[in-house]
């Protein structure tokens, strides 16, 4: 089967609640020092007018920021940026880091969720899977491996690996706890990945992802989708990686004479 360029990515059509959008805007301004410690914020009326939303929406957004210790609200005086803004711990990712993170991220603990065989139509993105593997039917069975990567007990990434059942049966749940799935299959059955391509986009957290990653419903997540091929351009695996956006930033470097 030939390597197909430009795989069509399915996008989740779900909107972020207005209060979450306002919260994100204000949070970024505070964490990027556009709003400085101790600075007074505009009133609820002013913010509602500026962003074209209701006061209830503004009030909800501010309550969430207050819970996270980013602002302080004082009756009769107003709302102020906290004098000590909690530092957001973020990891910077390069292209190579993306593959390491999905494959063999030694700094993270791994919590296996399980291995199961399902019908393609039961998968998260059935059209992507059917098109990539060229099954021609959503009733075909495929195996999915699921695991969570945690840092200091906090879930940071949720991984779904989709691959043919005849390959997945060579793996156990215990294998999910140790190292890279690709390395394990290479050592066990001599499987060699010849190429891959990946796509990065932002998506809102669906209920199951929000529950797994301990984040709010519809909050933005970083979604990384990776396609792998083995010899003779045979489709081998799709990996869905869902990352908490508040802990990762993508970093690129420009070298040479511009």
Chain segment 208-228, per-residue pLDDT in tens? 998 999 887 778 889 999 999
Task: Say whether pLDDT at 13 is over 90.
Answer: no
Q: What is the C-alpha to C-alpha distance for residues 129 and 137, in angstroms, rounded to an integer?
A: 10
Task: Say whether pLDDT at 247 is over 90.
Answer: no
Q: In sequence order, which residues have a C-beta less than 8 Å from that of residue 188 and are 6 or more positions away? A: 170
Confidence of residue 5 (pLDDT cuts 50, 70, 90): very low
Encode pLDDT of 135-177 as tens digits. Answer: 988 899 999 999 998 887 888 899 999 999 999 999 999 998 8
Residue with tokens 């399902």: 118
Sign of CA dihedral 206, 12, 248, 62: negative
* Domains in the chain: boundaries: 18-81, 91-250
Report pTM: 0.71
Q: Side-chain half-sphere of 8: how many Cα atoms within 13 Å?
A: 8
Stretch 55-83: mean pLDDT: 92
Q: Do the domains 18-81 and 91-250 sit in the same CATH topology, yes or no? A: no
Sequence-separated contacts (24+) of 217-223 with Cβ below 8 Å: 218/14, 218/15, 218/16, 218/17, 218/20, 219/16, 219/20, 219/245, 220/16, 220/24, 220/245, 221/245, 222/248
Task: Say whether pLDDT at 115 is over 70.
Answer: yes
Confidence of residue 108 (pLDDT cuts 50, 70, 90): confident
Q: Of 184 and 33, which is predicted with more confidence?
A: 184
CA 207 to each of CA 12, 180, 187: distance values in angstroms, whole numbers, following the listed order: 12, 28, 37
Phi, psi at residue 149, to the nearest 5°? Answer: -100, 130
Confidence of residue 8 (pLDDT cuts 50, 70, 90): very low
Helix (H) or strand (E) holding 229: strand 220-230
Q: What is the pLDDT of residue 14?
A: 45
Whether CATH 1.10.10.10 fits 18-81: yes
Share of the chain above pLDDT 90, in %: 47
**Backbone torsion region of residue 256, taken as left when φ is above 0, otherwise alpha when ψ lies between -120 and 50, otherwise beta:** left
Summary mean pLDDT of the chain: 84
Name the least confident of 44-53, 142-151, 225-234, 247-256: 247-256
Q: What is the pLDDT of residue 258?
A: 67
Among 108, 97, 186, 121, residue whose Cα is nearest residue 148: 108
* Structure tokens belonging to residue 129: 């899977």
In this structure, are residues 92 and 243 in contact, taking their beta carbons and an 8 Å threshold?
no
Query: What CATH homologous superfamily does 91-250 map to?
Result: Chorismate lyase-like (3.40.1410.10)
Q: What is the C-alpha to C-alpha distance for residues 94 and 250, in angstroms, rounded to an integer?
A: 6
Phi, psi at residue 174, to the nearest 5°? Answer: -65, -30
């Amino acid at each position: 089967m030939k390597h197909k360029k430009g795989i069509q990515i399915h996008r989740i059509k779900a909107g972020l609640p207005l209060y979450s959008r306002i919260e994100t805007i204000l949070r970024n301004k505070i964490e990027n020092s556009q709003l400085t410690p101790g600075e007074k914020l505009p009133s609820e009326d002013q913010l509602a007018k500026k962003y074209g939303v209701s006061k209830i929406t503004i009030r909800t957004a501010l309550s969430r920021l207050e819970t996270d210790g980013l602002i302080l609200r004082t009756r009769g005086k107003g709302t102020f940026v906290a004098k000590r803004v909690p530092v957001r711990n973020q990891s910077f990712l390069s292209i190579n880091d993306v593959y390491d993170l999905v494959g063999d991220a030694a700094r993270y603990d791994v919590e296996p969720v399980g291995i199961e065989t399902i019908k393609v139509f039961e998968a998260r993105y059935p059209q992507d899977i059917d098109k990539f593997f060229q099954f021609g039917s959503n009733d075909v069975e495929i195996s999915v491996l699921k695991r969570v990567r945690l840092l200091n007990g906090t879930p940071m990434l949720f991984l779904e690996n989709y691959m043919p059942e005849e390959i997945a049966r060579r793996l156990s749940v215990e294998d999910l706890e140790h190292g890279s799935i690709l390395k394990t299959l290479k050592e066990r059955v001599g499987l060699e990945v010849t190429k891959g391509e990946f796509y990065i986009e932002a998506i809102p957290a669906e209920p199951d992802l929000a529950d797994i990653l301990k984040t709010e419903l519809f909050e933005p997540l970083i979604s990384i989708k990776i396609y792998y091929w083995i010899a003779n351009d045979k489709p081998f695996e799709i990996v869905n990686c869902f990352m908490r956006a508040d802990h990762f930033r993508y970093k690129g470097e420009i070298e040479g004479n511009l």
